[in-house]
């Protein structure tokens, strides 16, 4: 009996935001390993080029775009589709985090976090799911959320609000888009050491960071741990998974 | 707005190529013109032209041309 790959994108095109580092980069690399063609979207062209080199440049297109300007997304994505063909899926892994106690929250900071983490994600999904952009077979959308969408953490109000909103939006999208065979899910990672999380926890003492790490029964995760789960949710072979928020956290929320 | 522009507007709402939408194009030929597409149509008619559609209006729309007639009645089509 021939063994078919459990996950194989068979040349389908997937757009990934936040691919210049951390979880987003790991997801892009893993997608590339599974025969996906990639559109790497982000602000830092040089960092995206480095990610592209890891994946294999033949598979990648770099789309330089600032997600803080959602109005620019449609024209940019249309242009790529004109050159490279339709899109099967997307993963919104880009995000802003802001560690501030409630008394120190400024509305412009809150708006900035919501703009990138939520608004840009919804607009990107709206564009990618257009009938003249997405493949006719349907596709898959994945939002990288956070365990802070489910459990509270002091100093993470803006971030938690944005990630909670993202998981709720994903569920609504899943129900609405199922008729077109478009699956929408979110993935909520626990503590994974990346540039973003290290910056966020820069305000904590080493013992506080250790306490957070120790709160994960399996210890902190790696970007690759999240990437494999992300690729599982995006894979065309997993055609009956939609509307879920998959927690990948080394047991943190099980306690 | 000219008829060509209006047809392009309809094509954009239903995410169809411009050449696929003609006045005689029936609703049944436009994949996105389902119940959700109707909600989108209602929102955009209101936002872009100030035209508020009611249930009777919606029942009468059978073709793209019916949408053009609605725009004409509201002075939005030259």
- Domain membership of residue B41 (yes or no) is yes
For residue A17, the domain's CATH number is 3.40.50.720
* Min distance A15 CA to chain B CA atoms (Å): 20
How far is CA A44 from each of CA A3, A17, A36, A56, A75, rounded to the nearest angstrom? 40, 11, 22, 18, 19
Least confident of A14-18, A68-72, B1-5: A68-72
Residue A16 confidence (pLDDT): 98
Local structure of residue B76 (DSSP, 8 states): -
Q: How many domains does chain A have?
A: 1
Contact A78, A133 (CB under 8 A): yes
Residue A44 confidence (pLDDT): 87
Is the pLDDT at A200 greater than 80? The verdict is no
Segment B18-31 mean pLDDT = 96
- Domain membership of residue B78 (yes or no) is no
Residue A43 confidence (pLDDT): 86
Segment A19-34 mean pLDDT = 94
* Min distance B15 CA to chain A CA atoms (Å): 6
Terminal alpha carbon distance of chain A: 43
How far is CA A61 from each of CA A21, A102, A231, A248, B57, rounded to the nearest angstrom? 16, 40, 19, 29, 45
Residue A1 confidence (pLDDT): 72
Query: How far is Cα A194 from Cα A74, in angstroms, rounded to an integer?
Result: 29
- Domain membership of residue B67 (yes or no) is yes
Place of tokens 């290290």: A198
- pLDDT band at B56; cut points 50, 70, 90: confident
- pLDDT band at B12; cut points 50, 70, 90: very high
In terms of residue numbers, what domain contains A31? 13-249
Segment B42-53 mean pLDDT = 93
Any catalytic annotation for residue A159?
Answer: yes
| Token couple for A56 | 């294999």
Q: How far is CA A184 from the centre of its chain?
A: 12
Return the bridge partners of A89, or none: A14, A140
- pLDDT band at A5; cut points 50, 70, 90: confident
Residue A210 confidence (pLDDT): 87
Query: Per the CB < 8 Å rule, is A131 touching B17?
Result: no
- Domain membership of residue A90 (yes or no) is yes
Contacts of B15 in chain A (CB under 8 A): 130-132
- pLDDT band at B39; cut points 50, 70, 90: very high
- Domain membership of residue B14 (yes or no) is yes
Query: Per the CB < 8 Å rule, is B14 touching A131?
Result: yes
Residue A207 confidence (pLDDT): 86
Is the pLDDT at A169 greater than 80? The verdict is yes
- Nearest 5°: the CA angle A166, A171, A177 is 115
Give DSSP secondary structure letters for A24-61: HHHHHHHHHHTT-EEEEEES-HHHHHHHHHHH-GGGEE
In terms of residue numbers, what domain contains B44? 3-73
How far is CA B55 from each of CA A59, A224, B66, B72, rounded to the nearest angstrom? 49, 52, 14, 19
Query: How far is Cα A35 from Cα A38, in angstroms, rounded to an integer?
Result: 9
Is the pLDDT at A59 greater than 80? The verdict is no
Query: Per the CB < 8 Å rule, is B14 touching A176?
Result: no
Q: How many domains does chain B have?
A: 1
Q: Taking the model in full, what pTM does it have?
A: 0.91
- Domain membership of residue B52 (yes or no) is yes
Residues in chain B: 78
What would the pLDDT profile of A42-56 be if each residue is shown by its tens digit? 888 998 998 899 888
Residue A55 confidence (pLDDT): 86
- Domain membership of residue B44 (yes or no) is yes
- Domain membership of residue A255 (yes or no) is no
Segment A161-183 mean pLDDT = 98
Contact A196, A95 (CB under 8 A): yes
- Domain membership of residue B61 (yes or no) is yes
Is 0.85 exceeded by the ipTM?
no
Is the pLDDT at A3 greater than 80? The verdict is no
Is the pLDDT at A57 greater than 90? The verdict is no
- Domain membership of residue A165 (yes or no) is yes
CB-defined contacts A:B, below 8 A: 11
Local structure of residue A4 (DSSP, 8 states): P
Segment B49-77 mean pLDDT = 93
For residue B33, the domain's CATH number is 1.10.1200.10
- Mean pLDDT, chain B, integer: 94
């Amino acid at each position: 009996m021939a063994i078919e790959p459990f996950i194989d994108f068979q040349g389908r095109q997937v757009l990934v935001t936040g691919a210049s580092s951390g979880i987003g980069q790991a997801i892009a690399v893993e997608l590339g390993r599974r025969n996906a063609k990639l559109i790497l979207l982000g602000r830092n062209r040089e960092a995206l080029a480095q990610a592209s080199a890891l994946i294999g440049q033949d598979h990648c297109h770099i789309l330089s775009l600032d997600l803080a300007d959602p109005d620019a997304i449609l024209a940019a994505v249309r242009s790529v589709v004109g050159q490279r063909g339709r899109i099967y899926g997307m993963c919104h892994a880009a995000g802003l985090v802001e560690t501030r106690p409630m008394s120190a929250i400024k509305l412009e900071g809150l708006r900035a976090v919501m703009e990138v983490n939520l608004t840009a994600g919804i607009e990107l999904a709206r564009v990618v799911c257009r009938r003249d952009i997405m493949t006719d077979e349907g596709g898959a959308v994945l939002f990288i959320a956070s365990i802070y969408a489910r459990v509270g953490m002091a100093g993470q109000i803006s971030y938690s609000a944005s990630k909670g909103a993202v998981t709720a939006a994903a569920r609504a999208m899943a129900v609405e888009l199922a008729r077109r065979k478009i699956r929408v899910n979110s993935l909520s990672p626990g503590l994974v050491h990346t540039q973003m999380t290290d910056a966020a926890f820069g305000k904590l003492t080493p013992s506080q960071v250790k306490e957070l790490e120790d709160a994960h029964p399996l210890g902190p995760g790696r970007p690759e741990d999240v990437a494999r789960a992300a690729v599982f949710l995006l894979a065309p072979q997993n055609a009956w998974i939609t509307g879920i928020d998959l927690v990948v956290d080394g047991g943190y929320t099980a306690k | 707005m000219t008829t060509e522009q209006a047809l392009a507007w309809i094509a954009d709402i239903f995410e169809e190529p411009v050449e696929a939408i003609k006045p005689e194009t029936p609703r049944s030929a436009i994949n996105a013109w389902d119940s959700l597409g109707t909600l989108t149509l209602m929102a955009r008619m209101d936002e872009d032209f100030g035209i508020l559609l009611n249930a009777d209006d919606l029942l009468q729309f059978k073709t793209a041309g019916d949408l053009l007639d609605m725009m004409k009645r509201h002075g939005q089509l030259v």
